[in-house]
């Protein structure tokens, strides 16, 4: 006589990965462990490779440099020693941050608005924006506006904001 083993059903779903096991308890446990042994290392590697932005940290990093009022964003770090690229990047970062915080309706900014804020000719602004698009710091949208890229935000946090802080401190 054979004894009928009870089976257990285990279904795991995370993002695009899904697995379902119907097996006796011991076998289901082994299949589950095998799934996690295969999945977790690739998940950990993928997480280390993903560029993500911590909005709270970004807001803290921008304290004293960017402010918002009913009139829109303001750059508190107006210093003639800032490069054109640093100035453009901080304005685009302000647009992104304001949008993410629900203060601004969009995260993109037009070339004309950036030209006005930079106080330079259209040709200079176009050249600088082209450089920033080329190095991946910003993105030109289909609507001919610009936004800072995730890569650009990470670079701002790691390199540009500390440089700006050092320049305005002097």
The percentage of the chain sitting over the pLDDT mark of 70, rounded to a whole number, equals 95
Question: Nearest CA to 141 among 99, 89, 106?
Answer: 106
Predicted TM-score (pTM) of the model is 0.74
State the pLDDT confidence band at 109, using cuts at 50, 70 and 90: very high
DSSP calls for 94-132: HHHHHHHTTSSS-S-EEHHHHHHHHT--HHHHHHHHHHH
State the DSSP code for 83: -
For 55-169, CATH number?
Answer: 1.10.10.10
Tens digits of residue pLDDT in 30-42: 888 787 777 777 7
Q: What is the mean pLDDT of residues 63-86?
A: 89
pLDDT of residue 48: 77
List, for residues 40-55, the tens digit of each pLDDT value.
777 777 777 778 899 9
Residue-range domain boundaries for the chain: 7-49, 55-169
């Amino acid at each position: 006589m054979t004894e009928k083993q009870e089976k257990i059903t285990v279904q795991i779903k995370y993002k695009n990965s899904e697995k379902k096991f119907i097996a006796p308890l011991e076998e289901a446990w082994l299949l589950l462990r095998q799934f996690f042994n295969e999945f977790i290392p690739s998940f950990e590697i993928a997480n280390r490779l993903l560029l993500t932005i911590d909005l709270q940290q970004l807001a803290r990093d921008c304290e004293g440099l960017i402010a918002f009022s009913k009139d829109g964003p303001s750059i508190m770090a107006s210093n003639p020693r800032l490069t054109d690229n640093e100035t453009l990047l901080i304005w685009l970062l302000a647009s992104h941050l304001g949008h993410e915080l629900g203060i601004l309706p969009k995260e993109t900014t037009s070339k004309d608005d950036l030209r006005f804020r930079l106080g330079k000719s259209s040709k200079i602004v176009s050249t600088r924006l082209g450089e920033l698009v080329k190095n991946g710091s910003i993105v030109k949208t289909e609507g001919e506006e610009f936004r800072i890229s995730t890569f650009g935000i990470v670079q701002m946090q790691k390199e540009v904001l500390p440089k700006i802080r050092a320049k305005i401190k002097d």
